[in-house]
Homo-oligomer: A and B are copies of this chain.
Amino acid sequence: MSEIQSLARGLKILDLLGEAEDGVGITELAEKMGIDKGSASRLIATLANYGYAEKDPNSRRYRLGPMVVSLSRIVLQRTPLRETAKPYLRQLMEQTGECSHLAVASQGKVLYIDQVESPATLRVNAQVGKIAPMHCTALGKAMMAFADYPIVEPLEVFTARTITEPGMLKAHLEQTRRQGYAVDDEEYDYGVRCIAVPVFDFRDKVVGSIGVSGPAARMTLERLPEIARTVMTVGEALSARMRFLR
């Protein structure tokens, strides 16, 4: 499998621009990439020409350009899952009182592609476009349990409850499959619990997952099974709806 080096470098720069909070300078960028300043300068100039990068006029540092926003809209609009799931997301939020989220798998990670916010003052919301690991989120584990995404080590630690042993995770996913829903019990963020189920298409292939997130104070361990039932019911309705597409 052959790659185009300069394109790969350009895309890598986009990643770095995304990570850098307040933009990056050419020299800094060249160091991080392990390439020459001149090369970095020309690569960035090309990215800027196409609107993928831009230089902050006063700090003179580069950051991500507006072009990605435009492309993002196109991607989201063309995702049939998103369109179909919207009413189910609303229903989920109304029935549980918590923020509901829709996600797909992307590059071995969880990508949030839609959400409905709860009106509660204390709520746990994730923005569209957010990326999270699969092994410690309900949305991610729901997909892992019902489709064979590889477990990629190391399993990064976020809280004391994060599952870091591949064997443990495997057993956990087995249980998830049996009970039909995935739980994140403060494994990613302290004080946050989530429940999610996979979404299937007309071929019974996992295309994403849907679930709710809330503060542990409200989503107590006693209430979890009840909430899980709601999520499973809505999830099954969504999957049933998805079978009519295509």
A77–B143 CA distance with the chains assembled, in angstroms: 27
- Given contacts A18-B71, A70-B18, A129-B72, A43 and B106 within 8 Å (CB-CB): no
Is residue A47 contacting chain B, with contact meaning CB distance below 8 A? Answer: yes
Are B1 and A4 in touch, CB under 8 angstroms? Answer: no
Identity of the chain B residue whose Cβ is nearest the Cβ of A21 in the assembled complex: B78
Q: Which residues of B contact A180 (CB under 8 A)?
A: none
CA distance in complex: A77, B47 (Å): 20
Interface flag for A76 (CB, 8 Å): yes
Give chain A interface residues in 120-162, CB to chain B under 8 Å.
127-131
Instruction: Return the chain B residue nearest A12 by Cβ.
Output: B50
Q: Is the CB of B66 within 8 A of A68?
A: no
CB distance from A59 to the nearest CB of B (A): 10
**B6 with A67: CB separation less than 8 A:** no
Q: What separation, in Å, do the CA atoms of A69 and B134 have in the docked complex?
A: 17
A104 touches B66 (CB 8 A): yes
Please tell me which one of the listed residues B10, B51, B74, B78 contacts residue A129 in the complex, with CB atoms under 8 A apart. B74
Q: Cβ of A42 < 8 Å from any Cβ of B? A: yes
The 4 tightest CB contacts between A and B, nearest first, are A73-B129, A72-B72, A66-B106, A7-B10
Q: A4-B6, A70-B129 are in contact. List 14 more A-B contacts (CB 8 A).
A: A2-B45, A4-B10, A5-B6, A51-B106, A51-B107, A64-B78, A66-B75, A66-B113, A68-B71, A69-B111, A72-B72, A72-B129, A73-B127, A73-B129
27 sample A-B contacts, Cβ–Cβ < 8 Å, listed by A number: A1-B45, A2-B45, A3-B42, A4-B6, A4-B46, A5-B6, A11-B50, A11-B52, A14-B71, A18-B74, A21-B78, A51-B107, A63-B75, A63-B78, A64-B71, A65-B106, A67-B107, A68-B72, A69-B72, A69-B76, A69-B113, A69-B128, A70-B106, A70-B111, A70-B130, A73-B127, A73-B128
